[in-house]
Structure 1
Amino acid sequence: MSALARLTATETRLFFREPTIVFFTLAFPPILLVILGLVPAFREPDENGIRMIGLYVPIIIVMSVALFALTSLSQLLATYRDKGVLRRMRTTPVKPRVLLGAQLVMSTVMSVATMLVVLAIGRLAFDVSLPRQLPAYLVAYVLVAVSMFAIGLLVASLAPTGRSASAIGTLLFFPLAFFAGLWVPRATMNDLLRTISDFTPLGAGVQSLQDATAGHGPQLLHLAVMLGWAIVAGGLAARYFRWG
């Protein structure tokens, strides 16, 4: 545990030396929420009493998880393998799997911190309701985080370099963000798009977080989808991941 803690602290310091990654994973989601909240149409309720800003808080939260998984985690691990860091670690008492654990711990802590900031801004600045079903909200958040981190590890396992991992992660991010409702909220999607969204990790995650915020339990379909992505992507990542 002491090796994991020390390596996590080291990886955190290295993370903050990458200003572009830091901005998009930590600062961009809260800034985006503030920008959307300043648009009057997002703050005003529609004929059904629904405020768009409330719908976008879960969307931005899952988007921040995706940014961590597809940019920070995948790019850094692929870069380490490309530069031979993982191979050289095999000759030390600290094994590569400890580095993987440190990356996962750091990404999880950072993403949780971002989630709390987004929830706080939504509540304090725009009067967005906090989750009414907190246990269900946490379960949904954990599942969407695990599924996206598994996909990030899969990208890192297949990408030969850090640059290619960044490119693959970016290509994956935009369709996943679309079906999460970043450009077209799920509530306004047609039946076909909403069905596709239901079977994506971010789409299922957004709906589960929205359900928990409204006081309902997440649908079993959405929980099963996130768990399925975590198992399949995690299994493939474990199968194809190369340390050196």
Structure 2
Amino acid sequence: MTAITKLTTVELKLLVREPGSMFTILIPLFILVVFGSSITPGDTVLLPMSLAIAVGLVGLYLLPTTLATYRERGILRRLSTTPVRPGSMLLVQLILQLVLALVAAALLLGVAGTVLGAHLPGRVLPFVVAFLLGTAAMFAVGLLIAALAPNGRSANGVGVLLYFPMAFLAGLIQPTDQMPVILARIGEYTPLGAFRQALQDVWAGHWPSPLLLGVMAAYAAIVSLAAATYFRWE
């Protein structure tokens, strides 16, 4: 067994035991089930919202808190003296967090499609593109939080403080058609808002707007670059 494989195995066990992992899966599932009684077969809002909530929790809460905590405890610094470099830890964490987001998405789609009888997108490719770009954008923001936060607690706090206003602007707390026009328009240019709207377009049977895809790609690229610039291993 290689060092990377061992590291992945250990990190996977820690992720499974982490209470935050369960919350990122159960909270959006709870929202879906509670409001699912009113869902109609043609609904194009609730499931995209639930998916955006799940990815937002992973990207803004779990990912930055984990990485900042590892740096605070000196784990990343100690790895620099072993064959497993700190960059390997970062890569493993990104992969595992992506897997967690995919598991949450699969569970939401499965429950919505089989139990609630919800409408699922007919074409896979637009969904995959929107989901991966949205996840990349949210993970980039999480990496920037981890880069700037001095410890795990502050990363957690910053993530929570960012999540709620971002979720509001994205229409995850209040529908955008009930918000002032200017706020709804601003929300479309946030990473979470662009993600939610892109998924809603997919559920409506359309390709996401090129503008929305461009917004998510820009966040993923630019914010990731900023995170790489400011990230400290110790």
TM range (shorter): over 0.9
How far the C-alpha of 1:156 sits from its partner, in A, is: 0.3
How far the C-alpha of 1:31 sits from its partner, in A, is: 1.6
CA contact (8 A) 1:8 1:102 kept: yes
Query: Match for residue 13 of structure 1?
Result: 13
Unaligned runs of 5+ in 1: none
Matches within 5 A, 1:148-227: 148-227=138-217
CA contact (8 A) 1:157 1:237 kept: yes
TM value normalised by structure 1 = 0.91
Query: Match for residue 36 of structure 1?
Result: 35
Unaligned runs of 5+ in 2: none
Query: Match for residue 104 of structure 2?
Result: 114
Query: Match for residue 140 of structure 1?
Result: 130
Letter in 2 for 1:27: L
Comparing 218-227 with 21-30, greater Cα deviation is found at: 21-30
Paired residue for 1:104, among 90, 94, 106? 94
Question: In structure 1, how many angstroms separate the alpha carbons of the residues matched to 2:2 and 2:160?
Answer: 34
Question: In structure 1, how many angstroms separate the alpha carbons of the residues matched to 2:107 and 2:176?
Answer: 23
Question: In structure 1, how many angstroms separate the alpha carbons of the residues matched to 2:100 and 2:5?
Answer: 15
User: Aligned pairs, how many?
Assistant: 234
How far the C-alpha of 1:99 sits from its partner, in A, is: 0.3
Question: In structure 2, how many angstroms separate the alpha carbons of the residues matched to 1:65 and 1:29?
Answer: 9
Identity value in percent: 41
How far the C-alpha of 1:222 sits from its partner, in A, is: 0.4
Write the deviation string for residues 132-184 of structure 1: whole angstroms up to 9, x where unpaired. Answer: 22101100000010011111010000000000000000001101111222221
Paired residue for 2:67, among 68, 77, 90? 77
TM value normalised by structure 2 = 0.94
CA contact (8 A) 1:33 1:60 kept: yes
Letter in 2 for 1:16: V
How far the C-alpha of 1:231 sits from its partner, in A, is: 1.4
Letter in 1 for 2:204: A
